[in-house]
């Protein structure tokens, strides 16, 4: 089994936005979704795990459902 582990725990302070950079929308889609879709479509990836910024796990889960990311199996809170 091949598992993609994504680190999405940053706050994106250099972008000077109210949102963490991984959740900023580009062309009507959050940046993190582009990455999730790439692993979703990859034939050698069986599951996706994401270390997410504290307080954003539910948002990421909602995006996964909205964009049909069925390989996303675990979301954990990232560390410092």
- Which residues, at least 6 apart from 42, have a Cβ–Cβ distance to it below 8 Å? 4
Residue 8, strand partner residues: 52
pLDDT in tens, 36-52: 999 999 999 999 999 99
Q: What's the CA gap between 8 and 78, in Å, rounded?
A: 8
**Overall pTM > 0.85:** yes
Q: What is the pLDDT at residue 16?
A: 63
| CATH number at 3-77 | 3.90.550.10
Q: What is the pLDDT at residue 70?
A: 98
Confidence class for position 20, pLDDT limits 50, 70, 90 = confident
Q: What's the CA gap between 71 and 44, in Å, rounded?
A: 12
pLDDT in tens, 57-68: 999 999 999 999
Backbone phi, psi, residue 51, to 5°: -90, 110
Domain residues of the chain, as ranges? Answer: 3-77
Whether 37 and 69 have beta carbons less than 8 Å apart is answered as yes
């Amino acid at each position: 089994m091949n598992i993609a582990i994504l680190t999405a725990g940053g706050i994106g302070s250099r972008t000077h936005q109210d949102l963490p950079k991984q959740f900023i929308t580009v062309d009507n889609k959050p940046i993190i979704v582009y990455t999730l879709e790439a692993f979703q479509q990859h034939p050698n990836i069986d599951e996706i795990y994401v270390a997410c910024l504290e307080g954003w796990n539910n948002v990421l889960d909602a995006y996964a459902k909205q964009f049909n990311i069925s390989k996303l199996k675990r979301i954990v809170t990232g560390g410092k």
